[in-house]
Amino acid sequence: MNVSIKDIARIAGVSTASVSRVLSGKPGVGDETAERIRKIAEEIGYRPNLGARGLAKRTTGNIAVVVPRGSFILNNPFFSTVLEGVAKGIDQTDYNMLMSFTSLQQKRLLETQSVDGVILFSPRNEELSLEWLKSIGLPIVVVGSYLEESPFPCVRPDDEDGIRQAVKALYQLGHQNIGIINGPMSSMHSVRCFNGYKSTMLELGLDFSHENVFEIGEFDVLKATKVMAAFLKEHRKITGVVCSSDYLAMGVIKAATMIGLKVPEDLSVVGADDVPISDFITPSLSSVHVDLVGIGRKATSILMDMLQGKQIRKRDVVFKMEYINRGTTSVPNHHLIPDPKHEKDHGD
Q: Is 24 in the site for a second copy (CB under 8 A)?
A: no
Q: How far is the CB of 112 from a second copy (least distance, A)?
A: 5
Looking only at residues 7 through 66 of this chain, which bind DNA when binding is defined by CB under 7 A? 13-18, 20-21, 23-24, 26-34, 46-49, 52-53, 55-58
The listed partner (DNA, a second copy, none) that binds 97, CB under 5 to 8 Å by sort, is a second copy
DSSP state string for 17-78? HHHHHHHTT-S-S-HHHHHHHHHHHHHTT----HHHHHHHHT--SEEEEE--S-GGGGG-HH
Please give the angle made by the CA atoms of 324, 325 and 327, to the nearest 5 degrees: 130
The SS3 of residue 191 is helix
Residues 6+ apart with CB under 8 A from 172: 342, 343, 344, 345, 347
Closest distance to DNA from the beta carbon of 1 (Å): 7
Of the candidates 166, 181, 286, which has an alpha carbon nearest to the alpha carbon of residue 229? 181
Nearest to 340 by CA among 122, 116, 158, 170: 170
What are the CA-CA distances from residue 231 to residues 93, 178, 208, 262, 268 (Å)?
48, 13, 17, 16, 15
* Partner from a second copy, DNA, none binding residue 21, C-beta < 5-8 Å depending on class: DNA
Looking at the Cβ atoms of 57 and 223, the one nearer to DNA is 57
Q: Which one of a second copy, DNA, none interacts with residue 133, CB within 5 to 8 A by kind?
A: none
254 is a contact residue toward a second copy (CB under 8 A): yes
Cα–Cα distance, 302 to 299 (Å, whole number) = 5
d(CA 124, CA 41): 49
Identify whether the C-beta of residue 204 lies closer than 8 Å to the C-beta of residue 167.
Answer: yes
Q: How many residues does the chain have?
A: 348
Choosing among a second copy, DNA, none, which partner's interface includes residue 315 (Cβ < 5 to 8 Å by kind)? Answer: none
The site map against a second copy for 73-102 (x = CB under 8 A) is -xx-x--xx-xx--xx-xx--x-xxxxxxx
Q: Would you say 116 or 160 has its CB closer to a second copy?
A: 116
The CB-of-279 to DNA minimum distance in angstroms stands at: 46
Kindly give the pairing relationship between strand 268-270 and strand 287-289: unpaired
Site for DNA (CB under 7 A): how many residues?
Answer: 34
Q: Which residues bind DNA (CB under 7 A)?
A: 1-2, 4-6, 13-18, 20-21, 23-24, 26-34, 46-49, 52-53, 55-58
Q: Would you tell me which residues interact with a second copy (CB under 8 A)?
A: 2, 47-52, 54-55, 60, 62, 71-72, 74-75, 77, 80-81, 83-84, 87-88, 90-91, 94, 96-102, 104-105, 108-109, 111-114, 221-222, 225, 250-251, 253-254, 257, 263, 276-277, 279-282
